[in-house]
Structure 1
Amino acid sequence: MSSSEYSARHLSVLEGLEAVRKRPGMYIGTTDSRGLMHCLWEIIDNSVDEALGGHGNSIEIQLHKDNSVEVRDKARGIPVDVEPKTGLTGVEVVFTKLHAGGKFGSGSYAASGGLHGVGASVVNALSERLDVEVDRDGKTWAMSFRRGEPGVFDDSKGIAPNNPFTPFEDGSSLTVKGKVAKGVTGTRVRYWADQQIFTPGASFQTEDLDSRARQTAFLVPGLEMKITDERGPEVLESSFKFSGGISEFAEFLAPDTAVTDIWRLSGEGNFTETVPVLGPDGNMALTEVERSCGVDIALRWGTGYETEMQSFVNIISTPKGGTHQQGFEQALLKVIRAQVDANSRKLKAGNDKVEKDDVLAGLTAVVTVRVPEPQFEGQTKEVLGTPAVKAIVASVVQKQLTARLTSTKRDEKAQSALLLEKIVSEMKSRISARTHKETQRRKNALETSSLPAKLVDCRSNDVEQSELFIVEGDSALGTAKLARNSEYQALLPIRGKILNVQKASVSDMLNNAECASIIQVIGAGSGRSFDLDAARYGKVILMSDADVDGAHIRTLLLTLFFRYMRPLIEAGRVFAAVPPLHRVVVINPGTKPNETIYTYSEPELQSVLAALAKSGKRYQEPIQRYKGLGEMDADQLATTTMDRSARTLRRVRVEDAAMADTVFELLMGNDVGPRRDFIIEGSAGLSRDRIDV
C-alpha cells in the first residue's frame, strides 16, 4: 500500500497531519536548513522539558551517515498505556495528534518549552520515516511511522526510510523489542526528514547545533548535552555541561573587558489570565487562572559599545524579544535615568537625557522568565506575547537594580560609579556625533574646514582614489611630503605611541589628542555612530618604522581601529605599509649605473648577498640598515613605500572578529596575568639574534 492510501481508521489523524505537510512554513518557519533545525529542536526540547522537571540529566544527539538524526534521553519515557478518549497508546497520540501531549494544563509540566502540543506530531508529519523507542515498565516499546502514518517497515535488509512499509489496518499497537532493568526509563527518537518537503541542500548545521546545545546546558545547570556527527570523514563529538547557570552564560557571551561584575536580578510575580478551558461537557468556557511568573536575569557592562542580549522563556530562545525583553529594557532605562539625574552634578551630565542606546552600549544580558503556558506569536516561538510578563519583569529589575546601584558596599559602589560614568560618556559621545553631523551638513563651500592643522591633505575629492597615510613622527613626515603624490595622498603625523584604547574608557579616548585627530580626519565618527559611507579616504595606511617601537605603534593604531572604527577593517580599507629593512647598492662595472636592491627581512638579505657572491658581483659596504622612515630620502621612500606601482601593502583583515578581540585583550588589555603567561610560553622560541638592539 502506498503512503497516499489511508485506512479509514486513520483518516482523522492524517487529515490533521496533511495540513502540516501542505503548509509546513506555518509550523516550522521555513523548509530550508533553518526549518530542518527547528524540527530537531522540537524533539530535543521535549527531552529538555523532562530535564527541567528533574527527570534525566543527559541528552544525546547523533547525526547518522544516512542523514537521519537520533535523540536519546533517560527521562520518564513517553507513556505507553492507552489514552481513554482516543483508544490509542500515549506514543501514538504524541506523534500523530496535533495539540496533544503533556504540555496542556499544569499537571505534568509547570513551565515547559513545548506548549502547543504540536512539536512531535509536526516532525512526524514532515519525516519520511520516524522510529520511536521507549524504555518503561521493564520493557523497550517501539513504533514506526511513515509521513505520519503508523505501521511496520520491512527492515530485513537494513534500516532505511524507503523500505517496504505496511500501515496498520484494524488497530495499531506498540511492539515490545526487549526487556530493560527495573527503573530504567527513557526515550529514543530517530527520524529521516522528508525530501519531498525540505529544499535540496537543506542539512543539519553542526555549528548551530553546538551553539544551541551549549546555550541549553547553560540554562539548565547540570544537564549534559552530547553531540555526535558521523556524516563526515571523521566522527565529530562535543559535550556541554555547566553548573554556573546564566551567570556563567553571561560571562561566556561577554565580548569585552568588564566594567561591572555579573549582577543577578531574580524575583517573581503573579498575574491573572483569562483563558478558554475545555469543560467535561466538551464545551470551552472562559476561566480566570492565577499564574506565577519567575524572573532570573544575569547582566554586566563592559568597556565596549556593542550589546549582547539573549532572552528566553522556559529555556526557549526568543531571538526577536517580546514582552519580557520590553519590560527589562524599559526598567533598565528608567532606573539608569533616575540614577544619572540623582548624580548629575558629579557626573557633569547637564540637562541631556540618557537614551536606551546609551544604556545598552557594552551590555551583556541573559533574560529568562518561567511562565506556565506562555503566549507566543506563532509555533516558532520567536516572540513572547504574554502581556502581564512585561510589568513583572520591569518591577523585578527596577527594585533590584536600584538597590544594586544605591548600595553602600565599597565594591558595588565603585562599580556603580564606573557604570554611570560610562553611560554618561556614551550619551556625550552620541550628542557630540550628532552635533558634528549637523554641523557638517550646514557647511558650505565658503566655510573653512575644522580639520587638524597638522593634516597634510590631498587635492582630490575622489574618496575611492584617495589615501591617508598615518605617519610616525615629524621627521618621517618631512620626507613623506616630498615623496607623496599630493593629488591623492594625504598625511597625518602622530607623535609616538598613542593611547592604549583597550584599557581606556570612551571619554579618555575622545579626550586624547592623537585619537581624536585620527577620528576627526577620517570623518566617519566612532563606535556605534561610525558611518562607513562618510569616510573621507578610500585607504588608510599605517606607516611606521620597521622596528619594535614601530610595531608597537602599529598595534596601538590597529587597536583603535578595531574597537572604534571596525567597519573600515571589515571593508578591507586599512593597510600597513611595508618599508624595507636594508638597501643593497650593487656596483656595476664601467659606466653602467649602480643597481639598488631593497630587502625586507634578514633571510631575504642573506639570500640576495649569496646570489651576488655567486654571480661575482660587488656591493657597497656597509649595507644600509634602515632604523626608521626618516633615514630614507624622498626618492627611496616613494619607490619602496608610497609609489603605487612599486610599493607593498599588507591589508588588515578581520577573519574572525571574536578571535581578534581575544588577541587584542590578551596583548593590550588590563589583565596582566594571561599576557605574562603568553610571554613566558613564547620566550623559549626567541633567540637573542632576533632582538633588534
Structure 2
Amino acid sequence: MARTGSAYDAGAIQMLEGLEAVRKRPGMYIGGTGSEGLSHLLWELIDNAIDEAAAGHAARVTVLFWPDGSYEVRDDGRGIPIDRHPKKKVSALEVVFTELHAGGKFGGGAYTASGGLHGVGASVVNALARQVVVEVDRDGKTHRLAFVDRVAGTFEDGRFRRGHDLEVVGRVKPGVTGTRVRFWPDTALFSPDATISYPEVRERVAQMCFLVPGLEVTLVDHREGASGEPERFSSKRGLVDYVEHLSVGESITDVVTITGTGTFTENVPVDGRMTEVERTCGVELALRWVKGFETKIVSFVNTIPTTDGGTHVAGFERAMTFALNAELRLDEAKKLKRFKDEARATREDVQEGLVAVLKVVVPEPQFRGQTKRELGTPKVQSITYDVVKSGVVDWVTTSGRKSHVNALRDKVIGAIEARLVSRQQRELVRRASSLGSTGLPDKLADCRSTAVADTELLIVEGDSAAGPTKSGRNAEFQAVLPIRGKILNAGKATLKQVLENAEAEALFTALGGGSGAEFDPAACRYGRVVILADADVDGAHIRCLLLTLFYGYLRPLLEQGRVFVAMPPLYTITERRAARTDDGPDTAAEGRRSKRTKGEKTKHYAYDDADRDRICAALDAAGVGYSIGRNKGLGEMDVDELATTTLDPESRVLRRVTLRDGAEAAEAARMFDVLMGREVAPRKDWIVDRAAFLDRESLDI
C-alpha cells in the first residue's frame, strides 16, 4: 500500500512540548471531561488510522471495544517509526506517545493533509490513560512498547518494568506493516457517567468510509451484553454513496459531483519566523435535491466533521445562491411577478430539499475552538466559492439535464413563493394586533397564565371533544384548540398548501413562533403541546397527521421534547356495587388509574385489551361484578372522567414524542417519508412486508 515520496521515519517526527498541561486542563485538549472528551481519545487514534488510509498507505482499520473498559484501534498502514529519534535518543514510537505535538503531521514530511486533534494525537491519549499498549509491525517484526502512567516500559511475567527499549514479540512476513494501539482511560479524570457510545462510533465510522473510498473499517464490541460480531463498512463511490445514504424521499435531480482545486498563500511560523507559504486546497462536493423540505448539508475538512460549518460552507452557500439565481431565470417566473423586486432566491430557498456533502482537503487547517467543529482558514472560502459556482453553472447549462434543472427551478420558485406568502400572513397578523385584535384563532380557548413553561396547548378533534375538554381542563394553564376532522397530510402537501390550510394556520397562529425553517421555539406561546385524540384507528390517524405536521413545520418542539400524546382509556370498567371504603381489588398497574370514592361506584380505566383483561381477572378473583364500557370518543366521556383520565396532570397518562440526532433521526425521516409521503409504492411494500405479523382480530374496525 505504500506510496513513494517523503520518508516516514524518526526524522519526520518533530517535538514541540511536553504533556504536563494535558492532565491539568484536559478540557483544553479534548473539549471536556464528559462523554465527548472521552470519545475524543478514541477518535484521535481512529483519525490517525484514517489519515494513513487517506494518504494511500492503509486499506483496513479495526476498532474494538473490550470488556475491561479498554479500546483498541488497528490499521495496516506503514506502522509508527521505531528507529531512534535524532534529538531525544529514544525510539520515535516513544516520542509520539510522550511528547505533545510530536507527529509526522508537523513539518509536512509524512502527510499532505490530515485529521487529528491539532496534532496532539497519540500523546494526549497517553496523557489521559492509565495504561497504553502499542504494537507495530515493521521490518519483519512485531515491536511492542507499553506505557503505565505515561512512563514507557515493557511487561515481563505480568510485571511492568520501566525502559525505553522496544520488545520484539513476534515476526511478520516481509512487507507486512501496521499499528495496534490499546488504551485504558484514566477514569479519575473523567465524569463518572462519561461513556463512549457504540452507536455514535458506528455512525461516524460509516461516515469515514464515505470520505475514503476503498477503505474497509471493522467495528467489534466485545463488552458484556454485546454480540461480539464484527460490523464492516466500506464505500466504492465515496461522496456519491454518502448523498444517496442521506437522501430520503423521491429525488428531483441526479447526484451532481463537483471537484476542483485552488491555491492560496498564508503566513505561518517556520523555525521561529513568520514565512509565507503556498497552500493547495482541494474541493469535493456531491449533492442532489429531493421533494421534501429538509436541508442536509454535511461538511468535512480532510476527514474531520465540521458540524458548525466554517469558511468552506460559507463559500459553498454563497456560490449556490448566486449561481442558481443567475442561471435559473427566476425573475421570469410568472408565479413571482406579483412580488416584483422581492422575487430573488435566498440561501434557504435554494437549499430546500438539498442533500449535500462537502469536503475540502487543506494542509494545516485553522479551526475555531479546540474541538474542530468550525473551519477558520479564511482563504478557503473564496476557493470553495469559485469551484462550486463553476460546477453549478456547468451542471445547469449542460445539455441532457433539462428535466432535472426545470424540476429544480419549479422547486425554488415554490420555496420563494411560500416564503413571501408566509411573510405577508405574518404582516397581516401584526397589523391586526396593532389594531387591537389578538390575531389568535377565534376557536382557541386560551389559558390565563402567561408563564410559558407551565402552560400547555390541548389539541382536540372537533367541537364534540372541545366541549367537555374546555369544561374539564384547568383554565389557569391549559388552552384548548379544536381542529376540524382530519387535517391535511403535510407529508404530501406543498409548503404553500400547508400555509393556506385553515387548520394548520390556526395551529401555527395559536402556537406563535412561525412555521417551517423560520419557526422559533423560543417564541412559542406554550411550554407543551398535548395531542388529544380518540382511542381508535381514526384517532391514531389524526395523531399521525398532526405529528407529520409537527415534524415538517414545527420540528424544534419535537427535538426539545415539548410534544406529548394523551392516552385516553379505551375501556371504562364499572363495579356494580358502590364502594363502602377506599379499599378494593388491587388492579393498579402502569398506565391505569382507578377511581375509588366512598358511596360511588368504583371505576377502573383500561388503555388496551390486555389492560382490560388484567383488571377483569382481578375483579373476578375478588368476586366483584362489573360492566365494561367501550369509550368510542372523548366527546362521549363525561367531564369528570375526561378530567381524571386525560387532563389532570396528577392522574393522566402522557407519552412524550421526541426526535433524537444521528441514526434515529434518519430513520424517523425515512419512516415519515414512507408512511406519509407522496410515493405509494414504498408504503405498499412496507405494509406487505409486515402483513404476516398482523393480528386481524385486534383490528379496531
Shorter-chain-normalised TM-score: which range?
0.7 to 0.9
Q: Could you tell me which of 211, 214, 234 is aligned with 1:241?
A: 234
Deviation at 1:567, TM superposition (A): 4.5
Q: Could you tell me which of 173, 185, 198 is aligned with 1:181?
A: 173
Q: 2:570, 2:607 within 8 Å by CA — same for their partners in 1?
A: yes
Larger radius of gyration: 1
Deviation at 1:71, TM superposition (A): 1.9
Q: Does 1:504 align with 2:504?
A: no
Deviation at 1:550, TM superposition (A): 3.6
Distance of 2:31 and 2:170 partners within structure 1: 38
Distance of 2:103 and 2:446 partners within structure 1: 72
Deviation at 1:494, TM superposition (A): 3.8
Distance of 2:66 and 2:411 partners within structure 1: 49
Distance of 2:414 and 2:133 partners within structure 1: 56
The residue type paired with residue 233 of structure 2 is: F
Deviation at 1:102, TM superposition (A): 2.9
Aligned identity (percent) is 42
Distance 1:26 1:583, change over 3 A: closer
Q: 2:575, 2:625 within 8 Å by CA — same for their partners in 1?
A: no
Q: After superposition, what is the alpha-carbon deviation per residue over 1:420-460, rounded to whole angstroms, capped at 9, x for unaligned? A: 134314632663475367447x537xx2344445x163574
What SS does structure 2 have at the residue aligned with 1:310?
Answer: strand
Q: 1:579, 1:629 within 8 Å by CA — same for their partners in 2?
A: no
Residue number in structure 2 paired with 1:4: none
Residue number in structure 1 paired with 2:341: 351
Q: Could you tell me which of 307, 310, 316 is aligned with 1:322?
A: 310
Deviation at 1:547, TM superposition (A): 4.3
Q: Does 1:46 align with 2:57?
A: no
What SS does structure 2 have at the residue aligned with 1:61?
Answer: strand
Distance 1:576 1:33, change over 3 A: closer
What SS does structure 2 have at the residue aligned with 1:350?
Answer: helix
What SS does structure 1 have at the residue aligned with 2:18?
Answer: helix
Distance 1:367 1:615, change over 3 A: same
Distance 1:410 1:618, change over 3 A: same
Distance of 1:73 and 1:424 partners within structure 2: 50
What SS does structure 1 have at the residue aligned with 2:184?
Answer: strand
Distance of 2:576 and 2:139 partners within structure 1: 91
Distance of 1:378 and 1:686 partners within structure 2: 52
Distance of 1:125 and 1:505 partners within structure 2: 55
Q: 1:526, 1:565 within 8 Å by CA — same for their partners in 2?
A: yes
Distance 1:435 1:227, change over 3 A: same
Distance of 1:110 and 1:614 partners within structure 2: 79
The residue type paired with residue 201 of structure 2 is: L
Residue number in structure 1 paired with 2:182: 190
Residue number in structure 2 paired with 1:519: 508
Q: Does 1:153 align with 2:154?
A: yes
Distance of 1:359 and 1:459 partners within structure 2: 40
What SS does structure 2 have at the residue aligned with 1:16?
Answer: coil
Q: Structure 2: where are the runs of 5+ without partners? A: 1-13, 579-598
Q: 2:570, 2:605 within 8 Å by CA — same for their partners in 1?
A: yes
Distance 1:246 1:525, change over 3 A: same
Residue number in structure 2 paired with 1:552: 541
What SS does structure 1 have at the residue aligned with 2:300?
Answer: strand
Residue number in structure 2 paired with 1:654: 658
Q: Does 1:415 align with 2:400?
A: no
Deviation at 1:358, TM superposition (A): 4.4
Deviation at 1:76, TM superposition (A): 1.7
What SS does structure 2 have at the residue aligned with 1:343?
Answer: helix
Residue number in structure 2 paired with 1:669: 677
Residue number in structure 2 paired with 1:530: 519
TM-score, normalised with respect to structure 2: 0.79
What SS does structure 2 have at the residue aligned with 1:320?
Answer: coil
Q: Does 1:683 align with 2:691?
A: yes
Deviation at 1:50, TM superposition (A): 1.5
Residue number in structure 2 paired with 1:286: 275
Distance of 1:133 and 1:626 partners within structure 2: 68
Q: 1:541, 1:577 within 8 Å by CA — same for their partners in 2?
A: no
Residue number in structure 1 paired with 2:326: 338
The residue type paired with residue 238 of structure 2 is: G
Q: After superposition, what is the alpha-carbon deviation per residue over 1:458-485, rounded to whole angstroms, capped at 9, x for unaligned? A: 5745577876554445666678788888
Deviation at 1:394, TM superposition (A): 0.3
Q: Does 1:220 align with 2:212?
A: yes
Distance of 2:554 and 2:85 partners within structure 1: 62
Residue number in structure 1 paired with 2:585: none
What SS does structure 2 have at the residue aligned with 1:286?
Answer: strand
Q: 1:301, 1:419 within 8 Å by CA — same for their partners in 2?
A: no
Q: 1:131, 1:143 within 8 Å by CA — same for their partners in 2?
A: yes
Deviation at 1:397, TM superposition (A): 1.2
Q: 1:319, 1:383 within 8 Å by CA — same for their partners in 2?
A: yes
Residue number in structure 1 paired with 2:65: 63
Q: Could you tell me which of 34, 37, 48 is aligned with 1:35?
A: 37
Q: After superposition, what is the alpha-carbon deviation per residue over 1:169-224, rounded to whole angstroms, capped at 9, x for unaligned? A: xxx44333222112211112233344675566544443443233222122112212
Q: Structure 1: where are the runs of 5+ without partners? A: 1-11
Distance of 2:441 and 2:315 partners within structure 1: 45
Distance of 1:644 and 1:200 partners within structure 2: 38
Distance of 2:374 and 2:523 partners within structure 1: 35
Alignment of 1:272-283 (within 5 A): 272-275=265-268, 277=270
The residue type paired with residue 198 of structure 2 is: T
455-464 vs 207-216, which moves further: 455-464
Residue number in structure 2 paired with 1:141: 143
Deviation at 1:499, TM superposition (A): 1.1
What SS does structure 2 have at the residue aligned with 1:102?
Answer: coil
Q: After superposition, what is the alpha-carbon deviation per residue over 1:8-58, rounded to whole angstroms, capped at 9, x for unaligned? A: xxxx98973445555544443434443333233232222212111222211
Distance 1:593 1:411, change over 3 A: same
CA RMSD, Structure 1 to Structure 2 (Å): 4.3
Q: Does 1:366 align with 2:357?
A: yes
Distance of 1:595 and 1:98 partners within structure 2: 72
Distance 1:24 1:561, change over 3 A: closer
Deviation at 1:678, TM superposition (A): 2.7
Matched residue pairs, number? 656
TM-score, normalised with respect to structure 1: 0.79
Distance of 1:386 and 1:430 partners within structure 2: 37
Q: After superposition, what is the alpha-carbon deviation per residue over 1:105-129, rounded to whole angstroms, capped at 9, x for unaligned? A: 5553233224965423343444444
Distance of 1:199 and 1:540 partners within structure 2: 34
What SS does structure 1 have at the residue aligned with 2:499?
Answer: helix
Distance 1:689 1:317, change over 3 A: closer
Alignment of 1:366-445 (within 5 A): 366-377=357-368, 380-406=371-397, 409-425=401-417, 427-428=419-420, 431-432=423-424, 435=427, 438-439=430-431, 443=434
Distance of 2:201 and 2:98 partners within structure 1: 26
The residue type paired with residue 16 of structure 1 is: G
Distance of 2:557 and 2:117 partners within structure 1: 46
520-529 vs 175-184, which moves further: 520-529
Residue number in structure 2 paired with 1:7: none
Alignment of 1:84-163 (within 5 A): 84=86, 87-114=89-116, 117-150=119-152, 152-156=153-157, 158=158, 163=159
